[in-house]
Structure 1
């Protein structure tokens, strides 16, 4: 959606005012630059850690692992060791890579403290370290389940990056081992710990947008320029002599380094990008329900740019990737009254492309009374629908939140005192970075362990916001979307897929694969 600077500013102010007026704590808008480590604890119902920090090992220090190292909370985590197969990643864990999201442990902790952290060449060495109580896993997708299961059997608690695993069968085995060993299993879908998203969902849950029948989610990137794709990398000199990668599940060194591009080692755009946004959409559509699962999915995916003769630069035409470079899926979600009337359906569309990035990634939630737009996990904009007795609407209209005279919660109404010009004159909203939830998810993980919170405790009582069962549901959406595109069919989700105790999984379902 293309909006003017003034309309965008009005949308941001509308959202911030609605948060205040609807009773959501304004403290949630403290920016990461000025927030204390207690903010996540305050908002998500846990506390500052009492006693010693959790002794943690980080397994996998590549792109995402280095982000987690940068965002880790020293008040909750005492990093004992790191492990990575690649020497270049071991080095990057400490030095960073000139990126604000990956600053390195030397800068994060100071060289003196960072120099005490042990370095292992693989996860087996790290898991043998008796000092380590828990691990953070940020390795290629095809290794998640084995490393997580090995860790739990070694007595370590696990925080695993998304996607939870390469298959749903592996997800179910991880959950089984977690229960068998009584080890905490958390998964890093960090939007569950984003205060910005939590505030947005509070407004949606109160009915402020009215009836939601459509959400459009997208993550568009432009990798069409020569040598510009961050997912396609050359082998660093430090890694060139690395041998025996087959032992760890990779056919070649190139497959280890560029694992996202191959079906054996990655899950494509739906796993790496789409899973985040389908997770967010399912949260918005829960509307007070503990969890909501989709009814069906269909879509198209293809290699329409990479490896296509005559399209793009020479390096793109010779690109050997196996995954789709363009995906478009449509999911049907049950509305609040679906059990009584199966026509009560909300549609979610998701697209990810590699040839245009005009629109920032995010979600647009279209309600009968308003529209809410999330952008880059940093900004939310809110706009009112024109109609009824609540006055005008549209992207240029300031709004206020009022309570229905008949009861039933808040509604958005036109604000007579803040015209668009006045709103713009009030100055731009702060551009300071908002926490994306990485730090908070690690804090809560440590707090659950230190406080011996029983497995399966509801989030309302302090339990994990994204335990294995919840993360498996996100994996089911992503993996089934891939299957729908591969087999070119509409697939209906089955309840038993979401049951960790059932052996049924979509990847071997005969109705899908024949």
Structure 2
């Protein structure tokens, strides 16, 4: 049984750690995500699931992955609890700038878990194999780079960066250190989007031409108005450390506990939620990203002192590539959707439409309908405006229904529905994949390059919304190309 120790444990402990780390790198643990299988539940209804268990075999004491979480806010606790469900994981440390969260982390996970204020103390521990970074956006790049340079595997919550130039710095650190680095946008590992990718690649909807996606909310909590504890003060919060590279200002509990509402620390609605949508779309289509981005919106309802908008729409143009035809993407996030919240995708192609939500895909293959002879001659068509002689001539020419559109072959009865099993959690799958990569040094599902390609278009939506300019983006070189004139 290995004993958890802090920094400065001595040479003997260092040798034991080196042996254990070598084991982690060289031993294959069967936790890679299995392929997607489909089982019929009824007429045109199917369950999609993993072939076999995604959990893999229980890990032995020497191949356990010891984790530490930095940032014990809402997602910090959710991610930690999810990670600990994966066999062979153990929490040894946490870090947070608010005293109450450090206390609760030990209440929730045990007194053996060491709680720190400074994340660098976590990185200095030789027994920490992987860190979960669940911190405000303006800390993502700095902490990710520091952690990789400290020899840790990194699971960084989305968006990967607050500013686009930081993305190349994270990619460079990943390449230089050879660290396992995964962005925490769980749609990348979701059964739903793996099945969507399979269907699109198989031509189920024909040539894709457009995608519509929304992520709406209709509650104060959904609009980031999180509860502020009564004991919030400079004595219980390390305010200066929280600010980091952000502009200096006096202590403000609202900025600390509701940081997403402020440009200094977050990435607004697009950075928080468009990134999820873009991750799912890029996973399903295999796309590298758009080349033209336009965002529009504003602060419409939650006028509570925040300096970011609460409604945004984005229009993104995806150029033709070897992965897909050219298509247009329409995105929406609305924090005051009086009709209810919800997440929905529509992948639209020439042969059909694929509708996707958290738990289900619906494939409808109506396709482009071929008009009948009657519709051509007497329906909503220009023929009815021609002279009687011309209408008669066309009627003689058109003896049977015209084959304007080639009929689809092998068409089945539609729509078809594909559902995940009850209780399915794509976040768990994302962690299963992450820890498999930590043990086996295999590629992750969402590395730094994927992470930047999902984050950058969202951040460009922010810039476009603020300036009114259409933004250009090179999805291959991953660089801003300036203002683009729409032809």
Deviation of 1:172 after TM superposition, in Å, equals 1.4
The answer to whether structure 1 residue 484 and structure 2 residue 464 are counterparts is yes
* Mapped partners of 1:333, 1:84: distance in 2: 40
Q: Structure 1 pair 320/173, CA: closer, same or farther in 2 (3 Å)?
A: same
Q: Relative to 1, partners in 2 of residues 1:245 and 1:373: Cα closer, same or farther, differing over 3 Å?
A: same
Query: What is the aligned counterpart of 1:439 among 412, 417, 428?
Result: 428
Kindly tell me: are residues 411 and 488 of structure 1, through their superposed partners in 2, closer, same or farther at Cα, counting changes over 3 Å?
farther
The Cα shift of 1:336 comes to: 4.8
Look up the SS of the partner of 1:270 in the other structure.
helix
Give the secondary-structure state (helix, strand or coil) at the position aligned to 1:439: helix
Structure 1 residues 411, 248: closer, same or farther in 2, change over 3 A?
farther
In the alignment, what sits opposite 1:23? none
Alignment of 1:297-446 (within 5 A): 297-307=293-303, 319-336=304-321, 345-356=326-337, 357-358=339-340, 360-375=342-357, 377-385=358-366, 412-414=411-413, 432-436=422-426, 438-446=427-435
Q: Which residue of 1 aligns with 2:241?
A: 247
Q: Does 1:187 align with 2:177?
A: no
Q: How does 1:156-167 map to 2 (within 5 A)?
A: 156-167=152-163
1:266-290 deviation digits (Å, cap 9, x = unpaired):
001111111110121222233xxxx
TM-fit CA distance, 1:476: 1.0
C-alpha distance after superposition, 1:77-115 (max 9, x if no partner) = 2111111111232344456xxxxxxxx54xxxxxxxx33
Whether contact under 8 Å (2:160, 2:452) holds in the other structure is yes
Q: Which has the larger radius of gyration?
A: 2
Which of 162, 167, 171 is residue 175 of structure 1 equivalent to?
Answer: 171
Question: Paired residue for 1:233?
Answer: 226
Q: What's 2:82 paired with?
A: 71
Deviations 1:468-491 (A, max 9, x none): 111011111111111121121222
Call closer, same or farther: CA 1:276–1:13 in 2, change over 3 Å. farther
Q: Residue 402 of structure 1 corresponds to which residue in structure 2?
A: none
**Distance across 1 between alignment mates of 2:318 and 2:65:** 39
Q: Gapped runs of 5+ residues in structure 2?
A: 1-39, 371-407
Where in structure 2 are the equivalents of 1:57-68 lying within 5 Å? 57-68=68-79
Paired with 1:348 and 1:48, the residues of 2 have a C-alpha distance of 42
Instruction: Give the alignment partner of residue 132 of structure 1, picking from 111, 128, 135.
Output: 128
> Contact 2:350–2:368 (CA<8 Å) still a contact in 1?
no
1:135-146 equivalence runs, <5 A: 135-146=131-142
Provide, for residues 328-363 of structure 1, a one-character-per-residue CA deviation record: whole Å limited to 9, x for no partner. 111111235799xxxx53111001111114352121
Superposed displacement of residue 64, structure 1: 1.0
Separation of aligned partners in 1, 2:476 and 2:322: 22
CA distance in 1 between counterparts of 2:341 and 2:237 reads 42
Following superposition, the deviation at residue 242 of structure 1 comes to: 2.5
Q: Who is 1:465 aligned against? A: 445
1:66–1:92 CA contact under 8 A, matched in 2: no
| 1:449 and 2:449 are equivalent in the alignment | no
Which range moves more in the overlay, 441-450 or 144-153?
441-450
Q: CA RMSD in A?
A: 3.2
For 1:157 and 1:39, how far apart are their aligned partners in 2? Answer: 20
Output the CA distance in 2 between the equivalents of 1:337 and 1:125: 46
Q: What is the CA–CA distance in structure 1 between the aligned matches of 2:301 and 2:341, rounded to whole Å?
A: 19
In the alignment, what sits opposite 2:263? Answer: 263
Are the equivalent residues in 1 in contact too, given 2:188–2:446 (CA < 8 A)? yes
What SS is found at the alignment partner of 1:469?
Answer: helix
- The answer to which of 186-195 and 350-359 deviates more is 350-359
Match of 1:139, SS? coil
Contact 2:288–2:453 (8 Å) recurs in 1 = no
**How far apart are residue 260 of structure 1 and its match?**
0.3
Structure-1 separation of matches of 2:420 and 2:326 = 37
Name segments (4+ residues, structure 1) moved above 6 Å: 11-15, 428-431
In structure 2, the residue matched to 1:151 is 147
CA contact (8 A) 1:210 1:368 kept: yes
C-alpha distance in structure 2 between counterparts of 1:411 and 1:263, whole Å: 52
TM-score of the two chains, using structure 2 as the length reference? 0.74
| Among candidates 85, 94, 97, match of residue 82 of structure 1 | 94
Give the direction of change, closer, same or farther, for the CA distance of 1:283–1:510 in structure 2 (3 Å limit).
closer
1:48–1:493 Cα change, 3 Å: farther
TM-score normalised by length of structure 1: 0.70
